[in-house]
Every structure is written in structure tokens, then in C-alpha cells.
Amino acid sequence: MAGGRLLLVSATTMGPPKARVDRTHYLDLASPGTPPVYLATGRWLVPTPDGQAVGNFAPGRIARRDLITGEEVWSIPMDGPDVHSLAVSPDGSRIVVPDRSQAIVLDAANGEEVRRMDFPYQVGGVRSILTGTNADRFVAIDQFGILLSRPQLRELRRIVPSESGRTKESFRLALSPGGQRLVLSTWGIPGGQDPLLIYNVFTGKVGAVYPGRREQVTSFRFSQDRQSLFFSASNSIKRWYYGAPTPESSPAGHAEEAWAVAFSPDGTVLASGGDNSKPGDTIKLWDPKTVKCIRGWRVAQGTISSLAFSPGGKVLASACLHRSDNLHLWDTATGRLRASLKGHTDRVRAVAFSPDGKILASAGSDGIVRLWEGEDGRPIAELAGHSDTVRGIAFSPDGRMLASASNDATVRLWDVAARGPIRTIRGQRKFVAIAFAPDGSSLAATDQGGGTTLWDPATGDRTLAIHGHDDELLAMAFCPDGQTLATTGLDCTIRLWDVMTGQELLELKGHETQVNGLGFSPDGTTLASCSHDGAVKLWRSEDQRTAPRDLRSTRSRDPAEGSTFRLPQQKQAE
């Protein structure tokens, strides 16, 4: 509310019998570290889009107050002794209050009654209610479960029955701003196994399941951009990006192991690289929209281990696992070889262009990080310091620093202009993949034990440690918005993480063998992955303002279907 700046937090103090006290405070998110400000005593307080709050500030009454000044805008009495719940429509124009078997709609501006809506048939005493846009749709909880209601259609559908005939207070739910999605905590449902479920209001079917552990969720609320859900559990506030990528399509892939994927800077081309032990192209360029191969070519020696597009997209650099013929520059328009770079004395495992395209960096089993002219591949410098294979390299967004991750359990930062070391970060395990956050504020690296560590590149201080995978992590990628990090490896799963909290947002399953490569599209809506069986997959975010095209058939999706997380059958490219 108030532009997303203020956050309401309610807490209950339990004293002697019947001495329960409910207090609500608000936090100013624009001032981190500022203590919460006391607002009022009352259990049911709901924020309005303009920075005010509506609730039971006093027994038997509903009032509206300004959060900043504390002034009361209006106050009205209610028939019952207490208010169990109320809801504010997303546009802030209406307030809905349950009253026995009715729902009372109030004008949010002055508190005057607009209308009363009777349930189509007798229900078991409404104890909680939620509303959609302009209060034309609402969700109610009675003692028999959860009901979806569209009053103008005289329709009442029970989507979640209560097997015991009694609805517990932990039977929590929330409606999305557009009224298309309903989130439910299963904690109070007999037999409920999943921690949080998101229902499609139009179909009544489950569309998303929270991937974290099951725990008691006391409250939750959708973000205004409909991309995430905030909820409180285990004495903390968590965030779930339920609109994370989902599997949408699969190119034909490679005949053998696929090790690398990379999107062109404009997102119109996806490059993939694989093993050359069988006949066929080892480098392929795909159209991500049609999933068809644009062109491909074969590299004579070795498995393709890494790919990188130049900033202009005209040049593709490839590294391969060959002792001599291991680094090449290709013309993406024709697939012709532009240059073969000589210098590494062993297999090359990583390649990266600087943001301005003037420098190409490479590294591999000889432990040397080499710099080359980005245009013609002429050698510039050698950066020595690692004592074992270098598995990953990455330029900072401003191009001033280069980071390298090695089997010697160190991450080294290099000054690109000075061609020398800045600092060394030491770990306990072999480091594998490495990447800078899009804004350069964080540096992340995966390790052989399945962990991911984030540091402040300016100081080398560790800022976050993430654990969740069961085995070595081979690849990682930051989403372009900088809020999400994708990791993958030997356990065949792809996991998405919140880079602020380290919370797991989603686990993507679909690969049958170890996943070797990852890459986000420039707009962040598509994640590409490749695995040891040669498969190349595209995972798309379906939580968009318009439904994405179904690449597997000509059937169109109903935009009202909302978010779904599913693993469809994969279409093979022609």
C-alpha cells in the first residue's frame, strides 16, 4: 500500500484467560532498520491502496484511519458484537464485511452501505471473506469449507470442503488483486499435505503448489504486480515468486551430451553446444519462439563446454574439451569460422565476452585465464594464480572486473584494465560456476557440494549461503531483474532462489540426466537448460499480462486460466 512503502504487521499477545490483545503496527519499507510504528489495537485491519487502513479499531465498529496521521476518516457501528473479517476491493472503492449469511458492501470513501448480498442458499455461518475487483466476486469461509461466489450469476461453488464439518482458524486464504487466483494454506485442512496452494477462481482447480516445507502460515497477501506472494511462517516473512518459469517447449537437442546454452543479446537466438562423438552438428542455433533450428555446424574436435555471444550478437565464441583445438570465434549469420585462438595447453571450460565486446576471456584445465581481442581473437594477456582447473569465468556488468572459479577452492577477482589480481576468496570445496548479479552488487559461485555462495565483490565479504541441492552444481544464472538465481547440476533439478533471502522459490523437474547448462533470456521470461542426454529445454513464465503461445499445439489458452505450473509433453523441433 502507499506505493508499496508501508507494511502492516499484526501481533497477538496472550495473557491470562480471555486476556487476548491484538495490536497492529506498520513498517516503513523505505527506511530499513526503522522500528515498527504502533497503529491500533484490533485484530482485523486491512490496508487500502491509498495508504489508509480499515478495521475493527473498537468492538462492534468499523472505522477507516489514515496510517501516517492516525486521523479517523469515518466510523460506523455494526450489528454484531465483533467483526471476524473484512475485505477491501483492489481498486479501493468498496469494502465487504460478512454478517451472518450476508455480505455487506460499503462505500470505502464514506462508509455508507451500497448493497447487501445474500448467499444463494444457507451456509454455515460466514467467518471470513475476500473480494475481487469492485466486490463483484468474493470468496467466503463457513464451517463447511471454502466457497467461491459470483453473486450476479447466483452461483456458489464449494471448492474445498471441510471433512470434519468444522473450519479451523488456520484455514487461511487470500485473493489476488484481479480476483483470478486464490491462495490457501492447507494447515487446517484434514489430510492436507502441501504448504500453500493457488487455485484458479474460474475453474476451481489447483494451479500452483508452494515448493517449500509444510508449516503453519498465519497470514499472506499477493503483491500488487501479481508476481509474488508474501506470507508469514516460522516467525519470519517469506516471499514466493509463484510466476516463476515453467517448462514450455523442447528443441530437438543434441544426439549426445549437451553442455552449454546461451541467448543472443536481443533474445531472438538460442545457441546450444554438445558432444561430437556421434555424427551431427555440435553447435546449433535455435529460434526460441518456433523451437526450430536456424542453422548448425560441427566442430572437428572435442565437446563444446561453453558458449558466449558478443554484445552485438554477430559473433559466437565457443570453448571445447580438446587439448589444442579448443577456442573458436564463429559468424552467427553464416556459421563460418572467423578465428581459431591458440594459447591454451589443455581443455577450455569457460568463455565470456566483456560487456563492451572488446575483450574475450577464456579459462580451463591449464589453470590460466587468458584475455583476447574480442574482434579478431589476438592474445592480450595471461592471468596466472590458480593452481588447478578454472571451471567458470564472468565479467562484472561494468567490465572492470573479471571473476574466476576454480577446482583449487578459490574465487579470484581480476582488474581487467591493470591485468592483475584484486583479491582471492577462499572456500572449502571446489568452485564450479560463477556469475555477477546484473547490477554488479553481488558475485555468486556454486560448489562441488551443492551449495551456492554470494559475496560483495567490492569487499569479498560473504552475504548469503544457499543450500538445497543434493550434489555438485554445474551451472547457474541470474535472472535479468536480479531478484532470482537459478542453479542446477548432478541432481537433475533446476532450482530458483530469492537472492535477498536465499529462500527456494521453485524446483523445476523434467530433465532425466544431469543438467550441464543454464541461461536466461534478456527479458527474463524464458530459462534455457541442457542436459547430459542431449536434451535442450525452454522454461517460460506463464504469469504474464497475456497468455504465452503454446508451442506444442495450435490450441490457445484462456487468459483467465491464471498461473499454472505443469510439465507438459515436450514438442520436438523439426
Q: Which pLDDT value is given to residue 461? A: 96
Is residue 62 assigned to a domain? yes
Identity of residue 373 = E
Residue 418 scores a pLDDT above 90: yes
User: Are 275 and 178 found together in one domain?
Assistant: no
160 or 204, higher pLDDT: 204
Q: Which pLDDT value is given to residue 2? A: 44
Residue in 246, 103, 242, 96 with CA at minimum distance from that of residue 181: 242
Q: How many whole angstroms separate alpha carbon 538 and alpha carbon 529? A: 7
User: Are 426 and 278 found together in one domain?
Assistant: yes
Is residue 530 assigned to a domain? yes
**Range ranked top by mean pLDDT from 13-17, 61-65, 521-525:** 521-525
Is residue 101 assigned to a domain? yes
Q: Report the mean per-residue pLDDT for the chain.
A: 78
How many CB atoms are located within 10 Å of the residue 572 CB?
12
Is residue 480 assigned to a domain? yes
Is residue 574 assigned to a domain? no
Is residue 561 assigned to a domain? no
Residue in 267, 211, 228 with CA at minimum distance from that of residue 538: 267
Residue 214 scores a pLDDT above 80: no
Least confident of 23-37, 108-122, 143-157, 426-440: 143-157
User: Are 388 and 503 found together in one domain?
Assistant: yes
CA 145 to chain CA centroid, Å, is 31
User: Are 211 and 291 found together in one domain?
Assistant: no
Looking at 240, 264, 284, the residue that finishes a domain is 240
Q: Which pLDDT value is given to residue 255? A: 81
98 or 314, higher pLDDT: 314
59 or 451, higher pLDDT: 451
Residue 525 scores a pLDDT above 70: yes
Residue 187 scores a pLDDT above 70: no
Q: Which pLDDT value is given to residue 560? A: 25
Residue 343 scores a pLDDT above 50: yes
pLDDT tens digits for range 271-329: 999 998 888 899 999 999 888 999 999 998 889 999 999 999 999 999 999 888 899 99
Q: How many whole angstroms separate alpha carbon 72 and alpha carbon 538? A: 53
- Count of domains observed in the chain: 2
* Residue 361 structural domain: 253-540
Identity of residue 286 = W
> In which band, very low, low, confident or very high, does the pLDDT at 54 lie, cut at 50, 70 and 90?
confident
Q: Which pLDDT value is given to residue 88? A: 80
383 or 99, higher pLDDT: 383
User: Are 111 and 222 found together in one domain?
Assistant: yes
> In which band, very low, low, confident or very high, does the pLDDT at 358 lie, cut at 50, 70 and 90?
very high
Residue in 110, 65, 104, 113 with CA at minimum distance from that of residue 86: 104
Region 105-118: what's the mean pLDDT? Answer: 84
Q: DSSP states of 209-250 as a string?
A: E--S----EEEEEE-TTSS-EEEEETTEEEEE-TT--EEEE-
User: Are 345 and 395 found together in one domain?
Assistant: yes
Q: Which pLDDT value is given to residue 164? A: 46
Q: DSSP states of 542-567 as a string?
A: --SSSPPP-TTSSPPPPGGG------
User: Are 317 and 383 found together in one domain?
Assistant: yes
Q: Which pLDDT value is given to residue 44? A: 61
Q: Which pLDDT value is given to residue 249? A: 56
pLDDT tens digits for range 473-496: 999 999 998 989 999 999 999 999
Is residue 11 assigned to a domain? yes
Residue 173 scores a pLDDT above 60: yes
Q: Which helix (H) or strand (E) holds 66?
A: strand 61-66
pLDDT tens digits for range 113-163: 887 776 554 544 555 556 655 555 566 665 555 555 554 433 445 555 544
Is residue 556 assigned to a domain? no
User: Are 15 and 155 found together in one domain?
Assistant: yes
Q: How many whole angstroms separate alpha carbon 492 and alpha carbon 512? A: 6
Q: Which helix (H) or strand (E) holds 380?
A: strand 379-383
What is the CATH classification number for the domain harbouring 184? 2.130.10.10
Q: How many whole angstroms separate alpha carbon 73 and alpha carbon 70? A: 9
Q: Which pLDDT value is given to residue 41? A: 59
User: Are 322 and 457 found together in one domain?
Assistant: yes
Region 186-208: what's the mean pLDDT? Answer: 67
Looking at 240, 268, 295, the residue that finishes a domain is 240
Region 173-190: what's the mean pLDDT? Answer: 70
Q: Are 141 and 130 in contact (CB under 8 A)?
A: no
Percentage with pLDDT > 90 across the chain: 41
Least confident of 72-76, 119-123, 193-197, 545-549: 545-549
Residue 171 scores a pLDDT above 60: no
The residue with cell 471433512 is 163
Looking at 240, 270, 293, the residue that finishes a domain is 240
Burial 499-522 (b: 16+ CB within 10 A, else e): beebbbbbbbebbeebbbbbbbbe
Q: How many whole angstroms separate alpha carbon 59 and alpha carbon 72? A: 16
Region 91-98: what's the mean pLDDT? Answer: 80
User: Are 309 and 443 found together in one domain?
Assistant: yes
User: Are 235 and 257 found together in one domain?
Assistant: no
Region 501-512: what's the mean pLDDT? Answer: 84
Least confident of 69-83, 118-132, 184-198: 118-132
Say what the pTM is.
0.62
Q: Which pLDDT value is given to residue 442? A: 97
Percentage with pLDDT > 70 across the chain: 67
Q: How many whole angstroms separate alpha carbon 91 and alpha carbon 93? A: 6
The C-alpha cell that represents 61 in the structure block? 465498529
User: Are 318 and 398 found together in one domain?
Assistant: yes
The number of residues in the chain equals 574
Least confident of 78-82, 101-105, 298-302: 78-82
Q: Which pLDDT value is given to residue 155? A: 44
pLDDT tens digits for range 248-264: 556 778 888 999 999 99
